[in-house]
Amino acid sequence: MTASRIHQWFDARTPWQRRFLAIGAGALATLGHAPFQWTPLYALALVVLVWLLDSAHAKPKPIRAAFGAGLWFGLGHFSTGVYWISSAFLVDSDAWGPLWGAPAVLGLALVLALFWAFGCALAMAVWTRDLRRIASFAAIIFITEWLRGHLFGGLPWLLPAYVWTPGEPVSQMAALIGAYGLSLITLFLFAAPAALADAGAGAGRRFAPLIVAGLCIGLMWGWGAQRIASAPIDLPGAQPIVRVADSGLGQAEKWQSRTDQEWRVLQRYLDASGPPRDSRAAVVIWPEGAIPVVNFYMLENPEFLDAVGQGMGDRVLIAGLTRREPRGDEVAHFNSAAVIDGVSGVPRLSQIYDKHRLVPFGEFIPLWSLVSTLNIAPLQRIGAGFEAGAPPMRLVIPDAPPAAVLICYEAIFPGLTPRGADRPGWIVSVTNDAWFGNGTGPWQHYAMARYRAIEEGLPMARAASGGISAIIDPFGRVVRETRAGVLYAEAQLPNALAETVYARWGLSLIAFLLVIIASLRLVLPSRSF
């Protein structure tokens, strides 16, 4: 049977031309994510990848060719998607050297690309020259994406779901099936237009998948729009006013070696928090690692804590900080968030949450006993790095609903917020996005954090050093966010919604969707092209 002109064109490309096509498609997929959110380009990228796999199917070693197509696609996608990690190496260039940034980006991109490579290879093992390949492609790539978010600590960055702008109608599907479930549907619907090139099928068969995909997206949009339209109205004064504040200092400037550095940074945060008598906020939030550890640890300096108490007055402060505690002959360090309240300027440390999920190589070094002999240290420059704490828990916040704190990297993981009897009334996200530089990294992180609000039906207060700080409602919509030149955002905390379907049944629904889509590989009619 004669192949379509599209397939003929792909088959006629040289191996290196197909590799560059895959790299280009992967880079195109990145434009579907924040801050661009050019969602149709992500769909186009997936269609090109399916056509490259169609071409691989005709090769003498199709599985090997498919592995290569997925690898080059992943390299193009993740090298353009996570290039900003190179900024972290510029902060402490004396220790690392700026040239480490490029190999670090390529190394991480290669590791992440391997998941797409194995996914494409597995899909090729059951590939068909008809519409059924769309179902197997979506199901298997979803499985490898899920594994990417869980294996070896996981890095669920740039999941397919995130091409839908958080807070807009389609993103509301995350309240039913989470970011992973929406990723599965996105892969399936966006790969469907590849059937347009199936020359062996009639016009109806070729256009039907595109029409069905459009109808499904329309239904999701309509349901999400209705969900947003039926949002309850927040009554004035029903919830506390919350302020998220930043110092405005870059990462290198914050860590300058000065005898008064902690005091200098503290003053910046007190200025952004506003004077107690003029502030309407009952709760003030400072980002991850707000006060640097240059000369002393914040919690170990009574004079410093007194200054914090005087600056806060009767307000509650939730601050990201570094703390330590003795462990026999050793000292353990923690990336923490502390709840500090008080009366008449007398501070009281009421609760502490220690970060549970740590960033490999950023906050700890895997196989430290071996790696330490190579004189390699974590970017945080704290011995062997931080110790992991217990999973996020419900914290009692005076004058506010109970909260759960997610520190930086933790906000990219669906399902980490406590549920059931331990479900909080809101999420506090503290992060240090100054590590990411001024590129797309902070915007990607911000978009992912907003999905946690949608999934859980909980409002979020996000304090981001060097990033976007905001008050977010349980639909993922921005209530207030920081703008250029303004170092704080303040608003009444929105009300929480009832526990979402995803929070109760999400994993079961995702498994059901996966079975349905995978079964289409068996039930759809076959018609080779």
Q: What pLDDT score was predicted for residue 91? A: 61
Q: What pLDDT score was predicted for residue 171? A: 98
| Among the ranges given (3-7, 341-345, 470-474), the one the predictor scored with the smallest mean pLDDT | 341-345
Is the Cα dihedral 175, 178, 182, 185 positive or negative? negative
Cβ 282 vs Cβ 242: under 8 Å = yes
Q: Is the pLDDT of residue 368 over 60?
A: no
Cα 69 to chain center, whole Å? 25
Active site residue 288: yes
Closest by Cα among 4, 49, 58, 3 to 26: 49
Mean pLDDT, all residues of the chain: 92
Tell me the pLDDT band of 251, cut-offs 50, 70 and 90.
confident
| Among the ranges given (80-84, 86-90, 421-425), the one the predictor scored with the smallest mean pLDDT | 86-90
Share of the chain above pLDDT 90, in %: 78
**Whole-angstrom distance, CA of residue 426 vs CA of residue 253:** 32
Tell me the pLDDT band of 529, cut-offs 50, 70 and 90.
low
| Tokens representing residue 372 in the block | 């330490």
pLDDT tens digits for range 369-411: 555 555 555 555 555 589 999 999 999 999 999 999 999 999 9
Q: What pLDDT score was predicted for residue 199? A: 79
Query: Burial level of 154, CB count in 10 A (0-12/13-18/19+)?
Result: middle
Catalytic choice (262, 355, 363, 455): 355
Q: What pLDDT score was predicted for residue 255? A: 87
Place of tokens 């397939």: 7
* All structural domains of the chain: 5-230+506-523 (no CATH), 241-494 (3.60.110.10)
Query: Burial level of 205, CB count in 10 A (0-12/13-18/19+)?
Result: middle
Active site residue 408: yes
Catalytic choice (408, 455, 456, 490): 408
| Tokens representing residue 100 in the block | 């480490």
Share of the chain above pLDDT 70, in %: 92
CA distances from 468 to 344, 440, 445, 472 (A): 31, 12, 9, 11
| Tokens representing residue 458 in the block | 């909980």
322 phi and psi angles, rounded to 5 deg: -100, 135
Cβ 515 vs Cβ 188: under 8 Å = no
Q: What pLDDT score was predicted for residue 365? A: 66
Q: Is the pTM of this model over 0.85?
A: yes
Q: What pLDDT score was predicted for residue 376? A: 52
Residue 135 DSSP SS3: helix
Catalytic choice (145, 262, 288, 490): 288
Q: Is the pLDDT of residue 483 over 90?
A: no
Q: What pLDDT score was predicted for residue 375? A: 54
Active site residue 363: no
CA distances from 220 to 34, 213, 229, 477, 513 (A): 20, 11, 14, 17, 15
pLDDT tens digits for range 100-123: 678 889 999 999 999 999 999 999
| Among the ranges given (215-224, 332-341, 376-385, 422-431), the one the predictor scored with the smallest mean pLDDT | 376-385
Q: What pLDDT score was predicted for residue 3? A: 75
Place of tokens 């240059």: 294
Tell me the pLDDT band of 180, cut-offs 50, 70 and 90.
very high
Q: What is the mean pLDDT of residues 133-161?
A: 96
Residues pairing with 505 in the sheet: none
DSSP of 419-438: -GGG--SEEEEEEEGGGGTT
Q: What is the mean pLDDT of residues 341-370?
A: 79
pLDDT tens digits for range 450-473: 999 999 999 999 999 999 999 999
| Tokens representing residue 449 in the block | 């954090």
Q: What pLDDT score was predicted for residue 116? A: 98
